[in-house]
C-alpha cells in the first residue's frame, strides 16, 4: 500500500515530538495527510514547529510530560476531543544516560524508567481503548540497547528491555483484537538524545560522544517507521550494525559482550577503558 493512501486522515499521536525522530516522524506523517498530535514538555516549542508539520486544522500540540500519568491521560483526552479517534500511538519520548553504575546516583535510573518505560505504559494504557476501536497500532521506539546491553547505559538498556517486554506481551494479549504492536529499534540515529543524556549525578552531558553527521538521519529513520506501520510489522531493527549486533547477541552472547565493551571503550571520554 502506498504511504499517502495509508496515512491519509489517520490520527497519530507522537510523544517526544519536539526534536529528533519524533519531530521528523510528525513532519512525515503530516506530509502524508495524517492528523498529528504532537506531545512534548515544551509547549511553546511545539507551537513554533507545528506549521512545519501541517495546516493548523490537522495539527494539535499538547504539553505532556510522559512520566506523569495524568499528563498522558489528558493527552489522549485532548486527541479524542479534537479528532474523535486515535489510529496510531508512537511512544518516542525518551532519555539516555552515560555513566558507570558504580558511580551513578540512583535518581538517574528512576528518571529513565519514569520517562522511557512508564511513559510508554502510561500513554498506551489510556490510548488502548481507542486503538482497539480503530484496530490501530502502538509503537515503542526502543534501541539496539533493548536487545544487547550497552555498558555505561544501565538505566537506558534496562528501560528499553522493559519496553520490549511490555509491548511483546501486549501483542500476545490482543492477538485476536486486530491491534498492531511495533517494537521499533532504530540503532544509532542523529538526534539530540546524546546531548541531553544524563551523567552520574543527573546533569546533562551536553555533548555527544559520536560523530552525528555519520549517523542515520532522523528523516530516514521516520521513513522506515512509516513503512513499518504500513506493513503492520511487529518488529523493525535498523542499520547493518544494529541487525548484526542483535543477531550476534542471540547466538554468541559472551563474544558480543566483549565486542561491545571494546566498541564503547573507544568513545570520546568513555567512562571506562
186 in a structural domain: yes
Of 249, 236, 265, 239, give the one whose Cα is nearest residue 141.
236
Question: What is the average per-residue pLDDT within 46-69?
Answer: 97
How confident is residue 1, by pLDDT bands cut at 50, 70 and 90? low
Active site residues: 156
268 in a structural domain: no
Residue 137 φ then ψ, to 5°: -135, 145
Domain with 140 in it: 3-239
Q: What pTM, to 2 d.p., does this model score?
A: 0.92
User: What is the pLDDT at residue 221?
Assistant: 95
Higher pLDDT, 62 or 273: 62
CATH of residue 109's domain is 3.40.50.720
258 in a structural domain: no
User: What is the pLDDT at residue 268?
Assistant: 79
Cα 97 to its chain centre, rounded Å, is 15
User: What is the pLDDT at residue 88?
Assistant: 98
pLDDT tens sequence across 193-238: 546 788 888 777 656 555 556 678 999 999 999 999 999 999 999 9
In angstroms, rounded to a whole number, what is the distance separating the alpha carbons of residues 28 and 174?
A: 28
Question: What is the average per-residue pLDDT within 29-57?
Answer: 97
108 in a structural domain: yes
In angstroms, rounded to a whole number, what is the distance separating the alpha carbons of residues 172 and 170?
A: 5
pLDDT tens sequence across 114-133: 999 999 999 999 999 999 99
250 in a structural domain: no
245 in a structural domain: no
Structural domains of the chain, count: 1
Phi-psi region of 111 (alpha: psi -120 to 50; beta: other; left: phi over 0): alpha
232 in a structural domain: yes
Question: What is the average per-residue pLDDT within 134-149?
Answer: 96
User: What is the pLDDT at residue 136?
Assistant: 98
149 in a structural domain: yes
Question: What is the average per-residue pLDDT within 247-268?
Answer: 91
The burial of 177, by beta-carbon neighbours within 10 Å (0-12 exposed, 13-18 middle, 19 or more buried), is given as exposed
- Cβ atoms of 86 and 11 within 8 Å: the answer is yes
pLDDT tens sequence across 79-125: 999 999 999 999 999 999 999 999 999 999 999 999 999 999 999 99
DSSP for 80-140 reads: HHHHS---EEEE-----B-S-GGG--HHHHHHHIIIIIHHHHHHHHHHHHHHHHHT-EEEE
Amino acid at each position: 500500500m502506498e504511504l499517502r493512501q495509508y496515512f491519509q486522515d489517520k490520527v497519530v499521536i507522537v510523544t517526544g515530538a519536539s526534536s529528533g525522530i519524533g519531530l521528523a516522524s510528525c513532519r512525515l506523517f503530516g506530509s502524508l495527510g495524517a492528523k498529528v498530535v504532537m506531545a512534548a514538555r515544551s509547549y511553546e516549542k511545539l507551537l513554533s514547529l507545528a506549521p512545519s508539520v501541517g495546516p493548523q486544522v490537522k495539527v494539535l500540540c499538547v504539553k505532556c510530560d510522559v512520566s506523569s500519568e495524568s499528563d498522558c491521560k489528558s493527552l489522549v483526552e485532548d486527541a479524542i476531543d479534537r479528532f474523535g479517534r486515535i489510529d496510531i500511538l508512537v511512544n518516542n519520548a525518551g532519555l539516555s544516560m552515560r555513566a558507570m553504575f558504580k558511580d551513578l546516583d540512583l535518581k538517574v535510573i528512576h528518571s529513565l524508567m519514569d520517562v522511557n518505560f512508564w511513559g510508554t505504559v502510561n500513554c498506551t494504557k489510556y490510548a488502548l481503548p481507542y486503538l482497539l476501536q480503530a484496530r490501530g497500532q502502538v509503537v515503542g521506539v526502543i534501541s539496539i540497547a533493548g536487545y544487547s546491553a550497552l555498558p555505561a547505559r544501565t538505566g537506558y538498556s534496562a528501560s528499553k528491555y522493559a519496553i520490549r517486554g511490555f509491548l511483546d506481551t501486549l501483542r500476545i494479549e490482543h492477538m485476536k483484537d486486530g491491534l498492531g504492536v511495533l517494537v521499533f529499534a532504530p540503532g544509532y540515529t542523529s538526534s539530540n538524545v546524546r546531548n541531553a543524556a544524563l551523567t552520574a549525578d543527573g546533569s546533562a552531558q551536553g555533548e555527544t560522544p559520536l560523530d552525528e553527521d555519520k549517523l542515520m538521519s532522523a528523516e530516514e529513520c521516520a521513513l522506515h517507521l512509516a513503512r513499518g506501520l504500513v506493513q503492520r510489522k511487529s518488529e523493525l531493527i535498523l542499520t547493518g550494525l544494529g541487525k548484526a549486533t542483535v543477531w550476534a547477541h542471540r547466538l554468541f552472547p559472551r563474544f558480543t559482550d566483549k565486542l561491545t565493551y571494546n566498541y564503547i571503550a573507544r568513545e570520546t571520554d568513555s567512562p571506562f577503558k
